[in-house]
Structure 1
Amino acid sequence: MRKIILMSSVSLDGYIEGPERQIDWHVVDDELHQYPNDVLRPAGGFLSGRVTHQLMADHRPTADADPAASGPEAEFAGIWRSVPKYVYSRTLREAGWNTTVVRDVVPAEVAALKAAPGGDLVPSGADLAASFLRHDLVDAYRILVRPVRIGRGKPLFPPVDGGPVPLRLEQTHTFGNGVVLLHHGRPQARRLLGGPAGTSGPVRVSRAGGPGGPARRPGPRRGLRRGAGRASRAGSG
């Protein structure tokens, strides 16, 4: 089954853009641009909101015709044109460039899209990402942390209900310009149940919180007077 992969750049303090939608602090060179090209080339679909889609449609499709475009920029133009796109919008009636218009983020519809053949699906834009996060639809994260603190703006990760979501670190990489990649995925079911890497099954957890068999009430340590043990227990907590 295909995965939903959230790929985004953030400031060190977690913002995807400034309060006026500024992204001038996104420093991109050829090395950094090549990374998303390599990740997105086999993608099965780009998912975006209306604003993000229109920004991309205005600039990306013909970038390879611009003599001033770098090699990775020109390469991405072809990738963007060829990959199927899904734009989430309640106002657009149609969109060009191999794009399907979708009205709302409906978990059952996303599940059907994941079950279809093809490469992984990549949502973009803070608002759409927030919708996918609220529904707990994201399977993996490829976050590019920029070496800058902007103080305020739109966070990539808004507050959501549901408690902690365990993740497993898959990869880190530091680019020459100081940007750091953090790639996390969902733990495997076996790891999620408590089994450490390399084990054949989940570890049994005692009521005392540690691995092993049935919980036992701990007795006094050897070498301690029984009265001292009682005093210690009475004074704890």
Structure 2
Amino acid sequence: MRKLTFGMNMSLDGYIAAPGDDLGWSAPSDELFQWWSDRVAATELALYGRRLWETMSSYWPTADREPGAAPAEIEFARRWRDMPKVVFSSTTRAVDWNTRLVTGDAVTEITRLKAEDGGPMDIAGATLAAAAMRAGLIEEYLVVTHPVLLGGGTPFFTALDNWVNLSLAETRTFPDGVLLARYETRR
């Protein structure tokens, strides 16, 4: 059975995007960018919601060909493009770059994917992750907290019907006061 992890950058007050889907507050240090790149390299399958897919696919497929692209950006672009991905959307019509589109029920498909043999899966995008969270499908949370207060936007966590007990598995500090906390779900 595959392990499902939800990890994203988060503001100190709990948001993954500021109002208007603004992500400008979460520009990573070189060290944090490399950590995210290594995470992509270790992920066997990434699950994306539509909005985050649109953001990522609008830049990363060709970022390695941009004039002046840094070696780390070139590496990330290639890793991202090569990584198998599934996009969950009822409005997207086509996907590319080693990606499959699912238009049906996300929880049913994620449950099926988790039951397969294979390596770790990451889930990204607030709405998609919220559905998986409410269904109890996430085994690990990677909360990369930036020292900024946004005051509103898209929350990292969704409202839940039941408590989810977690165990702290790892912490790490990055430059600029960014803190990684990795939690595992206690069953």
Pick the TM interval, shorter chain: over 0.9
Partners of 1:114 and 1:55 lie apart in 2 by: 25
Partners of 1:106 and 1:21 lie apart in 2 by: 22
1:98 aligns with: 98
SS in 2 for 1:172: strand
**Contact (CA 8 Å) 2:5, 2:138: kept in 1 or not?**
yes
1:61 aligns with: 61
How many residues are matched? 187
The one-letter amino acid of 1:180's match is L
1:170 aligns with: 169
Deviations, residues 2-54 of structure 1 (Å, cap 9, x unaligned): 11100101100101111221121113121110011112202111111122212
2:181 aligns with: 182
TM-score (ref. length: structure 2):
0.93
1:36 aligns with: 36
TM-score (ref. length: structure 1):
0.74
Matched, 1:112 2:112: yes
**Contact (CA 8 Å) 2:64, 2:75: kept in 1 or not?**
yes
The one-letter amino acid of 1:19's match is P
**Contact (CA 8 Å) 2:107, 2:131: kept in 1 or not?**
no
- Of 47-56 and 29-38, deviating more is 47-56
The one-letter amino acid of 1:11's match is S
Partners of 1:175 and 1:79 lie apart in 2 by: 22
Segments of structure 1 that go 5 or more residues without pairing to the other structure are: 190-237
Find runs of 4+ consecutive structure 1 residues off by over 4 angstroms.
Answer: none
Give the number of the structure whose residues are more often strand, by fraction. 2
Matched, 1:10 2:21: no
Higher relative contact order (CA 8 A, sep 6+): 2
Partners of 2:79 and 2:113 lie apart in 1 by: 20
Matched, 1:146 2:132: no
Partners of 1:105 and 1:129 lie apart in 2 by: 13
Deviations, residues 76-110 of structure 1 (Å, cap 9, x unaligned): 11111111110101122331111111124443432
2:159 aligns with: 159
The structural deviation recorded for 1:146 is 0.3
SS in 1 for 2:181: strand
SS in 2 for 1:100: strand
Q: Which has the greater radius of gyration? A: 1
The one-letter amino acid of 1:92's match is T
The structural deviation recorded for 1:129 is 1.3
The one-letter amino acid of 2:170's match is Q
Partners of 1:68 and 1:182 lie apart in 2 by: 33
Give the root-mean-square deviation of aligned CA atoms: 1.5
SS in 2 for 1:20: helix
SS in 2 for 1:61: helix
The one-letter amino acid of 2:176's match is N
Partners of 2:16 and 2:173 lie apart in 1 by: 19
Give the number of the structure whose residues are more often helix, by fraction. 2
